[in-house]
Amino acid sequence: MRLGFLLPCITVLLVTGNVCRLAQNSSALPLSTSSRWIVDESGRRVKLACVNWVSHLEPVVVEGMGKQPLDTISKKIAAMGFNCVRLTWPLFLVTNDSLAGLTVRQSFQALGLIESVAAIQVNNPDLLNLTLIQAFKAVVSNLADNDIMVILDNHISKPGWCCSNFDGNGFFGDKYFDAEEWIKGLTKMATMFNGSPNVVGMSLRNELRGPKQGVTEWYRYMQRGAEAVHSANPNVLVILSGLSFDNDLSYLSKKPVELTFQGKLVFELHWYAFSDGQAWANGNPNQVCGRVAGNVMRRAGFLLDQGWPLFLSEFGLD
């Protein structure tokens, strides 16, 4: 597939109703894998119905804190039938102590978002004087109080909108994406939430992409990242994103990932209508559907037949 020059990475709120509506009963954590399924401690299948909640933009605070109290939003997520949040974070939150040490107030003020500070003062006064890392922990902890599982998703390095091929965050060796710093950050995050049972998984890096992307480097670094996370926190599922904006895991059909541990590895896939350009707008829907579904199976869906869970972590259409 040819990707657009700038492919926006839209992190959608997955409010798709019944499609995602699942058992509300909480699972015995931690989770692990059994062939293509994710299961709980008692071996019962667990379906992740996650909402993406963004905390990787410039303020490095989950969106919406000026709109509703944190606990109200968490309860709304559960009430809508979701059992999980894919919580995004920028790498620099854990590798830059000056960033992590800013208070929520300072972070918004530095961006000139004075009205947001006033709105957070109304809806979440307790958050304003917390540092960014404390606020991030407060969100995870509130989700735990509401029985919601969390997947920590390293979305980007430098806080901001994600993703383009040329934003310096796309692949190992890009301006803001140093492999050693990434391993260090993953280890820190995994360690920080070892002991938080509702943190059930870590997505190692969102949408690998860009001119530097390569299969050899993908295996080298993703395997290292996976090992680092697992040794810092053996409870979490380790979730690997593919190349080309997480549209392509086809190389795994020939060469599996090699890890020292078992029962924790999950792959993730993104599937947007705009990834196929104007195909849906211009083509015969039956033909486009057949072709696109076939491509998705060839690039990622085959993993299910190989006995790996596949997490559809972003999808959407205009």
Q: Where on the chain is the footprint of ligand NAG (CB under 6 A)?
A: 23, 25, 92, 96, 98-99, 105, 129
- With respect to ligand NAG, which residue has the nearer C-beta, 42 or 98? 98
- SS3 (DSSP) at 28: coil
In whole angstroms, how close is the CB of 112 to ligand NAG at the nearest point? 14
Strands 237-241 and 310-316: unpaired
> Which stretches of 47-96 are DSSP H helices?
70-79, 92-95
Q: Tell me how far apart the alpha carbons of residues 88 and 154 are, in angstroms, rounded to a whole number.
A: 6
- With respect to ligand NAG, which residue has the nearer C-beta, 42 or 262? 42
- With respect to ligand NAG, which residue has the nearer C-beta, 27 or 275? 27
- With respect to ligand NAG, which residue has the nearer C-beta, 36 or 105? 105
In whole angstroms, how close is the CB of 109 to ligand NAG at the nearest point? 9
In whole angstroms, how close is the CB of 226 to ligand NAG at the nearest point? 26
3-state DSSP helix/strand/coil percent for the chain, to nearest 5?
40, 15, 45
**Helix pair angle (132-145, 70-79), 10° resolution:** 40
- With respect to ligand NAG, which residue has the nearer C-beta, 128 or 273? 128
Q: How many CB atoms lie within 10 A of CB 68?
A: 14
In whole angstroms, how close is the CB of 104 to ligand NAG at the nearest point? 10
Q: Tell me how far apart the alpha carbons of residues 245 and 208 are, in angstroms, rounded to a whole number.
A: 5
**Helix pair angle (215-232, 179-192), 10° resolution:** 30
Q: Is the CB of residue 286 less than 8 Å from the CB of residue 294? A: no
Residue 85 DSSP symbol:
E
In whole angstroms, how close is the CB of 42 to ligand NAG at the nearest point? 11
In whole angstroms, how close is the CB of 22 to ligand NAG at the nearest point? 8
Q: Tell me how far apart the alpha carbons of residues 219 and 225 are, in angstroms, rounded to a whole number.
A: 10
In whole angstroms, how close is the CB of 97 to ligand NAG at the nearest point? 8
- With respect to ligand NAG, which residue has the nearer C-beta, 96 or 194? 96
In whole angstroms, how close is the CB of 183 to ligand NAG at the nearest point? 17
Burial per residue of 14-26, b for 16 or more beta-carbon CB atoms within 10 angstroms, e otherwise: beeeeebeeeeee
Angle at 192 between CA 42 and CA 199, to 5 degrees: 30
- With respect to ligand NAG, which residue has the nearer C-beta, 181 or 227? 181
- What is the number of the residue whose Cβ is closest to ligand NAG? 23
- With respect to ligand NAG, which residue has the nearer C-beta, 26 or 306? 26
Q: Which has the closest alpha carbon to 88: 127, 33, 128, 140?
A: 140
